[in-house]
Amino acid sequence: MAMITNPDDFFTKGCGRCARFATTDCSTRQWIDGLNDLRRICLDVGLEETVKWAHPCYLHAGRNIAILGAFRGDFRLSFMNAGLLVDSEGILEPQGPNSRTPGMIRFTATQQVGEREAVIRAYLRQLMDHAEAGTRPAKTDREVDMPNELVEVLDADPELGEAFHALTPGRQRSYLLALNQAKQPSTRLARIEKFRGKIIAGKGALER
């Protein structure tokens, strides 16, 4: 099944990653009012809308700022480079066990978006300011460096993040080494997408 490339499709059909795409059972249908509110806020603060990893992604000054997601039990606004955020309201949660820092607002009712709109705007503005200034989160020490592209994908895709975290250290390392060999971000992103099925299946980068 082909994943979406037009953000409008997410709000009318879903992401295209599963058989529930374009059906009434798609997770986006349950949360559509809240997702539309998040989209309105992101566009209203001046973010550029595109599609990455089959979900609406919002950019500013050439940097990913936030991405939307919908699941059976909740919908989410996930912030990129969340280590730069000052969580003054204490509402951020980690995406999953692989997340370095809390960087997601989870919603379990559509009206919660309106209740938190001022905070959402403030947090988006923080990251927009950092994007304009070119500041980056401080790196943490790792035996093998994890590319920023992989960090962002794992935070934006909880299923993939949990699967990666469940891999043995050796299998995790095989992906890090394969990704670090690529010099261009676009090449690393293409490799991550290619590796997704193996990671979900619990395999290493070199396994068949």
pLDDT at 115: 97
pLDDT at 139: 64
CA atoms 182, 186, 190, 192: torsion sign: positive
Q: What is the pTM of this model?
A: 0.73
Report yes or no: 103 and 114 within 8 Å, Cβ to Cβ. Answer: no
**Element housing 191 (H / E):** helix 185-200
Report yes or no: 78 and 66 within 8 Å, Cβ to Cβ. Answer: yes
pLDDT at 45: 98
Neighbours of 29 (CB within 10 A): 16
Length of the chain: 208
pLDDT at 140: 54
pLDDT at 53: 82
Residue 61 backbone zone (phi > 0: left; psi -120 to 50: alpha; other: beta): left
Place of tokens 């975290």: 165
* Token pair listed for 52: 């990455």
pLDDT at 65: 96
pLDDT at 17: 81
Q: What are phi and psi of 78, to 5 degrees?
A: -105, 130
* Token pair listed for 124: 């988006």
pLDDT at 134: 94
pLDDT at 138: 74
Encode the chain (208 residues) as per-residue pLDDT tens digits: 578 999 999 999 999 888 899 999 999 999 999 999 999 999 999 999 999 888 999 999 999 999 999 999 999 999 988 889 999 999 999 876 545 678 999 999 999 999 999 999 999 999 999 999 999 887 654 557 888 899 889 988 888 988 898 888 888 889 999 999 998 999 999 999 999 999 998 999 988 7
Radius of gyration of the chain (CA): 17
